[in-house]
Structure 1
């Protein structure tokens, strides 16, 4: 049995579309149709029901899919265990959030370069919400994001957990000692991008404090470089992981505030499609987990 035909069956079954599967496999729709027809003849059963608009699995196809996926995973594992990592080639599209960039992404990039010298990396920095959608749509191979992502055929590997702290510049004229959120409301509070988990956590903390949310200036940005620059200049207060601002805490440009309202920790995951025939995202995800834990 031709493994390429089996891989084609898996992708058509997942995507429910011959032309989309052809794009994913970098071939033509005619080639995909021919592979499926040949596989069906070899097996003596119909794997798909087809009409003008839809492609669906037959009962035979439904039974075949889990086994075909297991075979493709075994083939990929065999290739990983036997092949020379230095000979692996290709491009991996990685999407990441700013927090990972500041914390340990440079070490991951160096490890990938050392282990897979012939593999190129396309890097995209965006919000977790956008990157999760891009992973599911197949636009990027691997997301290093605040997760997990619960969706079919998506794997999640936990990377690290960052405490989210209240941070400000010592030049900001706040009273010394323990602070309530009411003590911060004279200044803008910089959160992550609107709709993100940290942004919702800040809004929730304000609500629980009994303050009218409409009276508090919560500013949003998906650029941590912008946020850290503004709070270093004393513009306002921010909620950030220590790893993002450690260098400025060490120099004294920023300090951690003792605020009564604690914020939930941020959980980061490596997220990728469980794709047959593409081992690199899983390999790099495992690297990321090792580096994040060190």
Structure 2
């Protein structure tokens, strides 16, 4: 098999369309079809289901996609290693949720880019579950995940940081007068939360469920900035990582409520798949991240 065929296969799998893949790669559609057919013949499997004009990966195709990406990564790594140059080249794909991108990663990415301007950085902002899926499917090189500690054998953790959470309200809110706020105290309030699956939303909902209480109402939004703005407008209370609201706390735009329930224990982890080829680009980023974030 040739690297050209693998690249064509990956592109078709990404676009789910031979015509679009041909336009993207600058080939004729017949050339794309021929490359895929040759690859299928060599592998002795069918990579795509063809239903009219629609195509999708077969089970064998999904399995092979992981290896195709790894092979091309090794191919690029070999080329970059053999080129007589001190300039680091390649692509780094990172998965992380919005809050981490906004408050923890922006300075790290800026410094890495300044030091390695020939490296293309692709940032995929997804929730924790999606980031784990992207790792498994080799669609990201590394992921930053905030949540419960990951002990799964298929991932390697290079960095682990405690992630304190704070329950928040506006100044003057009735709950700010309490020495301790318990789950029962939240029952008469609107709670502003992130989308379902968010680790800190899950913790808050579990605390309320364990206490047998429910908030008066729930307001959901996928944006950390929107959650902060809605809370500062007085619409309700929220639970967020402290790192995301340091500025608002310092300005007294938000007040930390003294939580008396079960502690909220979360960590931010920098992880990659155990089968991932750790290229020079990835190792350089890992080392810088540990230096700057620890």
Find the counterpart in structure 1 of residue 171 from structure 2.
170
For residues 187-207 of structure 1, give each alpha carbon's deviation from its aligned partner in whole angstroms, at most 9, with x where no partner exists.
222233202322221111002
What is the 5 A alignment of 1:60-75? none
Is this contact kept in 2: 1:157–1:289, CA < 8 A? no
RMSD over aligned Cα atoms: 5.1
Find the counterpart in structure 2 of residue 203 from structure 1.
205
What is the 5 A alignment of 1:1-294? 84=85, 86-90=87-91, 92-146=92-146, 155-161=155-161, 162-174=163-175, 175-211=177-213, 213=214, 216-261=216-261, 262-271=263-272, 274-276=275-277, 279=279, 282-283=282-283, 285-287=285-287, 289-291=289-291, 293-294=293-294
TM-score, normalization by structure 2: 0.65
SS of match in other structure, 1:86: coil
For structure 1, list consecutive stretches of 5 or more residues without a partner in the other structure: 12-22, 28-45, 53-70
**1:170–1:96: structure 2 CA closer, same or farther, 3 Å change rule?**
same
Aligned-partner Cα distance in 2 for 1:148–1:292: 22
Aligned-partner Cα distance in 2 for 1:264–1:152: 18
Is this contact kept in 1: 2:148–2:266, CA < 8 A? no
**1:74–1:216: structure 2 CA closer, same or farther, 3 Å change rule?**
same
For structure 2, list consecutive stretches of 5 or more residues without a partner in the other structure: 11-21, 28-41, 50-70
Is this contact kept in 1: 2:146–2:266, CA < 8 A? no
SS of match in other structure, 2:174: coil
Aligned-partner Cα distance in 2 for 1:72–1:207: 48
Aligned-partner Cα distance in 1 for 2:79–2:153: 21
Aligned-partner Cα distance in 2 for 1:271–1:228: 31
Aligned-partner Cα distance in 2 for 1:104–1:73: 27
The count of corresponding residues between Structure 1 and Structure 2 is: 275
Deviation at residue 139 of structure 1 after TM alignment: 3.9
Is this contact kept in 2: 1:164–1:239, CA < 8 A? yes
**1:242–1:218: structure 2 CA closer, same or farther, 3 Å change rule?**
same
SS of match in other structure, 2:87: helix
Aligned-partner Cα distance in 2 for 1:75–1:139: 17
